[in-house]
Amino acid sequence: MSDPELARARVRQLLDLTQRLTERLMVETRAFEDSRPQDIVAGLTETQDMANVYRRDSGHVKANPSLLKDAPLEDRKALLEATETFNTVLANHAQAVEAARTISEGLVRAIAHEVTAARTPASAYSADGRAAQGDGRAVALNRMA
């Protein structure tokens, strides 16, 4: 393959990957916006794999821009437009994920608060024979949820 053919193949491969990843992120964003995050679970590994390949390949091209210089101008323009669209969709996706995380953490905190408030005080006694103050039982709250 000559340099222009190889450059064109690289551009088209990266363009295809960028467009496919953009579409996946759009679908995932819609699922978050529709309060259906469970809909993305089945394809999460594939999305992560695609994102890793994209990160690797785009980083390689960024470090070596000469790899694409011999590709046709229209192909490079298409890649640039797809990358701009991808960046916009990625930002929207990040906002949707952050909103879902915030809501989820808020629900966990509210449930933990309700469980703690609903408990009857412990009837344990201290060493001097008096009733202990407060509830010695703990509520686990995983902030990584």
Asked if residue 4 lies in contact with residue 70, where contact means CB atoms within 8 angstroms, the answer is: yes
Residue 140 within a domain: no
The domain total for the chain is 1
On whether residue 35 sits in a domain, the answer given is yes
CA distance 85 to 64: 22
Instruction: Answer yes or no: is 54 within a domain.
Output: yes
- Mean pLDDT, the chain, integer: 85
Answer yes or no: is pLDDT of 125 > 70: no
- The answer to whether residue 142 sits within a structural domain is no
What is the pTM (predicted TM-score) of this model? 0.73
The overall longest dimension of the chain from CA atoms, in Å, is 90
- Domain contains 36: yes
Q: Is residue 99 part of a domain?
A: no
Domain with 42, as residue range(s), is 3-89
**Cα(first)–Cα(last) distance of the chain, in Å?**
50
Looking at residues 25-38, what average pLDDT do you find?
91
Residue 27 lies in a domain: yes
